[in-house]
Amino acid sequence: MSFTNETEKQKYYIDKCRELIKHKENEYGRKLTACVVTFGCQMNFKDSEKLMGILSQIGYEETEDEHADLVLYNTCTVRENANLKIYGRLGYLSKIKEKNPDMIIGLCGCMMQEEHVVEKLNKSYKFVDLIFGTHNVFLLAELLYERLISGHKVEDIWEGTTEVVEDLPAVRKYSFKSGVNIMYGCNNFCSYCIVPYVRGRERSRNPEDIVEEVKELVANGVVEVMLLGQNVNSYGKTLENPISFAKLLEKVEEVEGLKRIRFMTSHPKDLSDELIKVMAKSKKICKQMHLPLQSGSSRLLKIMNRHYDKEQYLLLIKKLRKAIPDIGITTDIIVGFPGETEDDFLETIDVVKKARYDSAFTFIYSKRSGTPAAKMPDQVPEDVVKDRFNRLLNVVNEISKEKTLKLQGTVQEVLVEEENKKIEGFVSGRLSNNSVVHFKGDVSLIGKLVNVNLKEAKGFYYMGEMVE
Ligand code: SAH
Ligand code: SF4
Ligand code: F3S
């Protein structure tokens, strides 16, 4: 067979798989089911939508039950406990497979890009049928076909890629909002982080392709997009016709019918004044900025290879708050990086108090083999890390609570996202600044923008009342 491009080739394999699955359907007298479980970040969630898109075109019915005919774990390896979770769940899956030998178990995503992981799987988890990585997600149909025809385990890990494959199917989890990849990979090599090793070098998509995708999403009912990249602020720098992230935002803003734009993640070192200006005047870009700090100690930031110091970071916060007064700012912080002293830690606390985050994701440093930090001396003792972690959390929570109080009693625009799981007759949605609000309403509101009075601030969320 010869194909003019990769997408065409994969469509061919989707058809071939569909034939095989049809046979099975006839044999079983029912539809086959597939369950894709996602671990990790928004990138993985987006990849999973593509994986499910391929599987549903092949003829699998989507299910959340892991007693399925095909189970695919899309893995994360950013911290050690992400890995441990996978090994634990694989044990559970093997029991299900014992009862259904025809079941296909697949693993993909970031963890598979590590040699020692694949070695371990081959040695101790022989029941796994399909292993592939982050660079060849689009190959699912081809790999599955090979597995179905051969009856043998199929393993295909790429070390990297320069390719960006467009136009494959996707099944979206939400009808009204969607992630949109604007770039893949990361070039920053923060010394603690494994992502550049498992996601490869930075590659930006063409702005035309991104805008096209957003238009198509809007035509299909999407009102909010989240532009995704490990460092969106360096978007476009390596394109043939370089373009800034701020310019891309302006192009996306022009898409008619689109109501809200979010993006993730911003690296402080590349956050430009141009971006702040574009955000300040935009009608669609949400008043929200996720700006990972990692540490407040300039000494540690240097060793972390972050390319900014405490003062530069605080200056950014100041500029953001000045230009966009009610902006919600969130962050990521690592506690217990090798060599972190009490003084370093107090610098982090100081930044938290000055930046006044709406919320912060706090992580205990996890040693990732292959990263420079893994070889650094002075790994901080566990009890010291735990103590610092708890102290940090207290400060973070206290400030979050105070921040939510500020909007209590005001009326804000809310995008309704889902039925409330705990209170019957209630729905939940998000403000522009990404805070969550619960209020009385029914499912017909899902995907709609409504005005809600934030009656009561509850720490991390609000209880509200819809106003006409
Ligand atoms: N590209 C994003 C971060 C992606 S990873 C950025 O640069 O901001 C998400 C978060 O996981 C990071 O911000 C960091 O706080 C945390 N993280 C990454 N590696 C880690 C490690 N080895 N131990 C603990 N936390 C880590
Ligand atoms: Fe990891 Fe740093 Fe890249 Fe973020 S910017 S993914 S923390 S290496
Ligand atoms: Fe995890 Fe990979 Fe994302 S390691 S955080 S899923 S890029």
Q: Which pLDDT belongs to residue 145? A: 97
To test the pocket of ligand 2, the residue of 41, 190, 194, 266 to mutate (highest count of ligand atoms within 8 Å of its CB) is 190
Neighbours of 4 (CB within 10 A): 7
Pairing of strands 411-419, 203-204: unpaired
In the structure encoding, which two tokens stand for residue 352, read together? Answer: 């938290």
- According to DSSP, the residues that pair with 263 across neighbouring strands are 227
C-alpha 201: how far from chain center: 17
Q: Are 251 and 172 in contact (CB under 8 A)?
A: no
Q: Which pLDDT belongs to residue 162? A: 75
Q: Which pLDDT belongs to residue 180? A: 96
Measured torsion, CA atoms of residues 290, 389, 185, 48, in degrees rounded to the nearest 10: -80
Q: Which pLDDT belongs to residue 379? A: 87
Cβ–ligand 3 contact at 40 (below 6 Å): yes
Neighbours of 432 (CB within 10 A): 20
User: Does residue 468 sit in helix, strand or coil?
Assistant: coil
User: What tens digit of pLDDT does each residue of 323-370 get?
Assistant: 999 899 999 999 999 999 999 999 999 999 999 999 999 999 999 999
pLDDT confidence bin for 395, thresholds 50/70/90: very high
User: What tens digit of pLDDT does each residue of 229-269 get?
Assistant: 999 999 999 899 999 999 999 999 999 999 999 999 999 99
Q: Which pLDDT belongs to residue 423? A: 94
- Amino acid identity at 378: D
pLDDT confidence bin for 55, thresholds 50/70/90: very high
Alpha helix stretches (DSSP H) within 220-368? 245-253, 273-281, 298-303, 310-323, 342-355
CA distance linking residue 135 with residue 185, whole number of Å: 10
CA distance linking residue 340 with residue 411, whole number of Å: 43
Kindly report the length of the chain. Answer: 468
User: What tens digit of pLDDT does each residue of 91-111 get?
Assistant: 999 999 999 999 999 999 999
13 alpha carbon to ligand 1 midpoint, in Å? 36
User: What tens digit of pLDDT does each residue of 260-309 get?
Assistant: 999 999 999 999 999 999 999 999 999 999 999 999 999 999 999 999 99
Residue 163 has pLDDT above 80, yes or no: no
Pairing of strands 436-440, 426-431: antiparallel
User: What tens digit of pLDDT does each residue of 189-201 get?
Assistant: 999 999 999 999 9
Residue 170 has pLDDT above 90, yes or no: no
Nearest atom (ligand 1) to Cα of 364: 24
Residue 71 has pLDDT above 90, yes or no: yes
Residue 20 has pLDDT above 80, yes or no: yes
To test the pocket of ligand 3, the residue of 36, 48, 78, 190 to mutate (highest count of ligand atoms within 8 Å of its CB) is 78
305 alpha carbon to ligand 3 midpoint, in Å? 19
Q: Which pLDDT belongs to residue 378? A: 84
Least distant ligand from the CA of 78: 3
Task: Specify the DSSP class assigned to residue 129.
Answer: -
Residue 460 has pLDDT above 90, yes or no: no
pLDDT confidence bin for 1, thresholds 50/70/90: confident
Cβ–ligand 1 contact at 388 (below 6 Å): no
Pairing of strands 61-62, 33-38: parallel
Residue 116 has pLDDT above 80, yes or no: yes
Neighbours of 299 (CB within 10 A): 16
Q: Which pLDDT belongs to residue 384? A: 97
| Full DSSP string of 47-76 | HHHHHHHHHHHHTPEE-S-SSSSEEEEEE-
Across the range 137-164, mean pLDDT stands at 92
Q: Are 446 and 416 in contact (CB under 8 A)?
A: yes
pLDDT confidence bin for 133, thresholds 50/70/90: very high
Q: Which pLDDT belongs to residue 188? A: 95
Q: Are 43 and 199 in contact (CB under 8 A)?
A: yes
Place of tokens 């320069």: 162
Nearest atom (ligand 1) to Cα of 190: 7
C-alpha 219: how far from chain center: 24
Across the range 375-400, mean pLDDT stands at 95
Q: Is the peptide bond before 265 cis (omega within 30 degrees of 0)?
A: yes
The closest of 305, 325, 428, 445 to 376, measured between CA atoms, is 305
Of residues 115 and 166, more confidently modeled: 115
CA distance linking residue 290 with residue 264, whole number of Å: 7
The closest of 32, 39, 17, 107 to 67, measured between CA atoms, is 32
Q: Which pLDDT belongs to residue 233? A: 96
CA distance linking residue 222 with residue 213, whole number of Å: 11
Q: Which pLDDT belongs to residue 184? A: 93
- Would you say the C-alpha torsion 215, 216, 221, 227 has a positive or negative sign? negative
Residue 166 has pLDDT above 80, yes or no: no
CA distance linking residue 160 with residue 157, whole number of Å: 9
- Taking CA atoms only, the protein residue closest to ligand 1 atom 18 is 193
The helix or strand, by DSSP H or E, that contains position 313, with its residue range, turns out to be helix 310-323
Provide φ and ψ at 206, rounded to 5°: -65, 140
Cβ-Cβ contacts under 8 Å for 247 (sequence gap 6 or more): 207, 236
Cβ–ligand 1 contact at 192 (below 6 Å): yes
> How high is the mean pLDDT of the chain?
95
Cβ–ligand 3 contact at 360 (below 6 Å): no
Across the range 33-58, mean pLDDT stands at 96
